[in-house]
Structure 1
Amino acid sequence: MGQNSSSYISSSYSFTKNLLSKKRRREDSESDLEDEESALERSLNTKRRKKLQSTSDYIYRTMFLEGQNSDVTIVALGRSWKLHRVNLSQSPYFASMFSGSWKESTESTINIEIQDPNITIVSLTICFGSLYKDEITLDGNEAIGVAAAASLFQMEPLLDYCSELLRQNVSVHTAVKFYETAIEYGMLSVKSTCFDWLSLNLMHHVHEHPSRLREISVELMTELVKYNNLYVIQTEFSIYVLLKLWMFLKLHPAWSGCPKDMITATQEFLENRNEKASLLETEIGKPFERAFRVLKADWLIVHPYDVEMLKNDRIIPNSFLNIAFQNQWFRMLRVEQGIDSGPTELDEEDFFKNCLRCGRLLQTDSQHMWRWTGYNFGLDLVMSYDKGGIIKIKRNARSDNSMSLSQQRTRNIMYRIVATTVNDFQQVMTTQSTGVKLVTLHRSEDVRVMTLDPDLLVFPVILSVNFLVVSPVATDQ
């Protein structure tokens, strides 16, 4: 009996256990079902997005490419486009045509005479197509033609997009062309970008490409040479040398060759001239006079070798140089007599009008030391760059020609230094500037004038430096 009792208890326990287990499974199943129903409800209430055929793409294909339901045909450059007045009216050009008393407002075919050589069938197709779609794809090679068409049809958003593309693609091969395009179509941002690029690269990059240097017009070159922010590599005389190379290229449009050959050919041309008059006074040279006239002539005559070259080249009239000699002689007398110890207070306009322009290319982040040679009114200024971005100016008091050094205890110097880094297209990456500053230097004293931000320091660095070591005088011309 005890055994039967034990079996009964065991069976009862198993039954109870199974019952409880089934209950738990049922409860779990019910819980899972509730979770499943909740998840299903969430899924049903969740909005999902799937892009079907774009309305814009459909309109572009059926109405523009296929010309369905067209109510006007535009004919230009021997090609016709079956278009729609409602779409064309997004352009102020066509909106005015369709809403006014023009005969085209009721015609089913409109002929447009295209005289701009930049406008092509491709650019017209892109331009018209943009009126049927909410996006456009262009490359830099198409931008000028599309800009020309957009300008004609007064499509400002499209013209702005072309401007953005052109600005991104400014290089030595495109800068002048884009600049001229910007002027023609009123693209002010492109004009500014191209001009700034040329002012940065004219003397250290463009001159290495004779065919590109030749493209620069007299008007543009004049504006560049007189620009306060022109990056001058070496000294003012380097600008003169660049100008005579450029003038040779403009006078000889068929000439081609490397930069070294360009220098040789230019000198041969000048040496073989038979006229006694300076080149700028002749019929062929007169058009270039404006560009040479904006040179800072006072700073062309500070080295005997430079003066000798000016004399032998016979480009600039003596009357122009005589004024420079007069100005420099008067300044020298004032310094030698102790009347002038340098500028004190001067506004930026007068500073840039009278300062010496110079510059240098720093290729590596290592120690550099240099000076710009030439007569500097008793000052031997030595520039230095120390690794890490520190730029100093020293008033050197020891020289082989110590008699030429000013004995004044202190001298005032005004300066501006701009340091710029560029990318592979020679476009500006970073720029740091001191602004116009005044410093007083004792003999043998050096001062830190600029510390470059190490986070912005990428080599090479282009240094543009403006100096003024004497006070402007009333006789300055």
Structure 2
Amino acid sequence: MGSLSSRFQSAPRLDEAEAAPCERTGHGCECKKRKRSSRCDCDSEPEEEESLLDTPRRKKLKSTSKYIYQTLFLNGENSDIQICALGQEWNLHKVYLCQSGYFSSMFSGSWKESNMMVIELEIPDQNIDTEALQVVFGSLYRYDVLIKPSRVVSILAAACMLQLDGLIQQCGETMKENVSAKTVCGYYSSASIYGLDSVMKKCLEWLLNNFMTNQNVDLMKELGVDVMEQLIQSSDLFVMQVEMDIYTALKKWMFLQLNPAWERPLKQLLADADMWLCKRRSELGEEEPFLDTEEGVAYAAVFRHVRLQYIINDLASARILERDNILPRDWLSSMYKQQWFAMLRTEHDNDIGPQEANKEEFELSSMRCGRKLSKDGDYCWRWTGFNFGFDLLVTYTNRFIVFKRNSLSQPCGGAVSLQPRRNLAYRLRLASFDNSGKLVCSRTTGYQLLTLEKDQEYVVMNLDSRLLSFPLYVCCNFLYTSPKSDRPLDAPEPESSARSVS
């Protein structure tokens, strides 16, 4: 105990210790206390000092930006130029305005405005208002700008006029993040005017996904002929049910275009469109198809892209086409002829379907169909009609999607091919969307060729349950027959191609 006590007593207390000389060479030190680590207070790690020196002072920068915006822009202190536009004045500074390509050219060239203290700005674009100019001028004095989706078109217009590339890009990103049924048409139109191709592409993708899956009366009223034509001709259109439903959607859209004051519920729209067409047929004596009339000719380009071969293959649908009398008669007669020869080729030439990749023909001519799966479970469906004896069953079960060529195992209401093998080209896509129509998740098989024997099954897709979100939309494209050749129908058959049915 004595030795331990003496050891403690011999150790000097820190506050009584004499100042030790600093060990840092070349530096004087006036430290009066020694640290427990035997180093003085000034002996900090060089790396720590450098780290502290390199740490950005974000708060200080924000404060500076706020001061500049408030003092120079809002208060106009030390202004050296005044901009007048749309009945309002802004006291600004040339050094900030030169960030704009528009003003930079004005001040550096031989323009009369180069030395003027007051500039009257002409605003030729009706999309630009004083609120947009306030935001755009203010953006020159701060490092960030908050853009409301409802104001983005006006701000974009002003940014384009003043040639502010950074702000134009920010407007484009804002538009792409806020595409919805309310904004898509306005955004698409503005993006077309101001050259934002990426925004146009985003809007078109949204429309392809949502036009059929979530039909909207206001959206149909807004959609113009040019945009609708792009949608209807695309094989990427998410179709619900079958091609006949595309025709029906177009009929409703055309009715709304010609009757924009219509304000009844969506479920009443088709009945009112049919009643309107019936009234017109009575007035015209059912002589002239609607698209041949002066009022209907504007919509002919859109209806031209309906794939009639997948409508006239169903008796009930073909009768509706005849009853509506919308389509020119030569469209239907030529399609009946085309399908008749396709049927004969399948029956007598043993056309077993596509045998090599022809993506261009697939995009133009594939059958478009789809289905909505409201919740997880087991589903099985077929898209009926005369499909050249190819009865294809599609099954969703245990998160597998399976194709089955039905020949003998299941009842079928139509003709069934008994050829040993049949080919088809297909593409299957799955998608789910949020409330605004944004894509939540998606998967696709891409373009594929498949050979199926009688009653053979094939697993098309194995789904990861973690990526699934319901309701789930399934969209399929199919091509059952070989791509049509360029040989005229009345040309003589090559001898080698005449074969008997197996």
TM-score when normalising by structure 2: 0.86
Distance 1:42 1:458 in 2: 59
What is the one-letter code of the residue matched to 1:281? D
Distance 1:112 1:152 in 2: 11
User: Contact (CA 8 Å) 1:88, 1:94: kept in 2 or not?
Assistant: yes
Distance 2:446 2:97 in 1: 51
User: Contact (CA 8 Å) 1:203, 1:231: kept in 2 or not?
Assistant: yes
Distance 2:198 2:305 in 1: 25
What is the one-letter code of the residue matched to 1:323? S
User: Contact (CA 8 Å) 1:385, 1:392: kept in 2 or not?
Assistant: no
What is the one-letter code of the residue matched to 1:261? Q
Structure 1 equivalent of residue 190 of structure 2: 181
User: Contact (CA 8 Å) 1:381, 1:396: kept in 2 or not?
Assistant: no
Structure 2 equivalent of residue 30 of structure 1: 17
Distance 1:403 1:433 in 2: 30
Distance 1:476 1:135 in 2: 64
1:437 aligns with 2:455: no
Structure 1 equivalent of residue 258 of structure 2: 251
Match among 311, 332, 341 for residue 300 of structure 1 = 311
Distance 1:119 1:212 in 2: 25
CA 1:21–1:176: 2 relative to 1, 3 Å: same
Q: Deviation string for 1:324-343 (max 9, x for gaps)?
A: 10111001111222431111
Match among 215, 230, 233 for residue 237 of structure 2 = 230
What is the one-letter code of the residue matched to 1:23? S
Query: Taking every aligned residue pair, what percent have the same amino acid on both sides?
Result: 35
SS in 2 for 1:228: coil
What displacement does 1:42 show? 5.4
User: Contact (CA 8 Å) 2:79, 2:93: kept in 1 or not?
Assistant: yes
Structure 2 equivalent of residue 159 of structure 1: 168
User: Contact (CA 8 Å) 1:383, 1:394: kept in 2 or not?
Assistant: no
What value does the CA root-mean-square deviation take over the aligned residues? 2.5
CA 1:29–1:198: 2 relative to 1, 3 Å: farther
Structure 2 equivalent of residue 219 of structure 1: 226
SS in 1 for 2:13: helix
Equivalent residues in 2 for 1:23-422 (5 A)? 23-26=10-13, 30=17, 33-35=33-35, 38=39, 40-41=41-42, 46=49, 47=52, 51-52=59-60, 54-205=63-214, 207=215, 209-273=216-280, 274-275=283-284, 276-398=287-409, 404-422=415-433
What displacement does 1:435 show? 1.4
Moved more, 387-396 or 425-434: 387-396
Q: Deviation string for 1:85-111 (max 9, x for gaps)?
A: 111111111111111122111211111
What displacement does 1:395 show? 2.6
What displacement does 1:28 show? 8.0
Distance 2:8 2:381 in 1: 94
SS in 1 for 2:41: helix
How many pairs were matched up?
A: 462
Segments of 5+ residues of structure 2 without an aligned counterpart are: 19-31, 490-502
What displacement does 1:157 show? 0.5
User: Contact (CA 8 Å) 2:243, 2:367: kept in 1 or not?
Assistant: yes
TM-score when normalising by structure 1: 0.91
What displacement does 1:390 show? 3.3
What displacement does 1:376 show? 0.7
SS in 2 for 1:392: strand
SS in 2 for 1:283: coil
Distance 2:179 2:4 in 1: 84
What displacement does 1:20 show? 5.7
What displacement does 1:393 show? 3.2
What displacement does 1:67 show? 0.8
What displacement does 1:66 show? 1.0
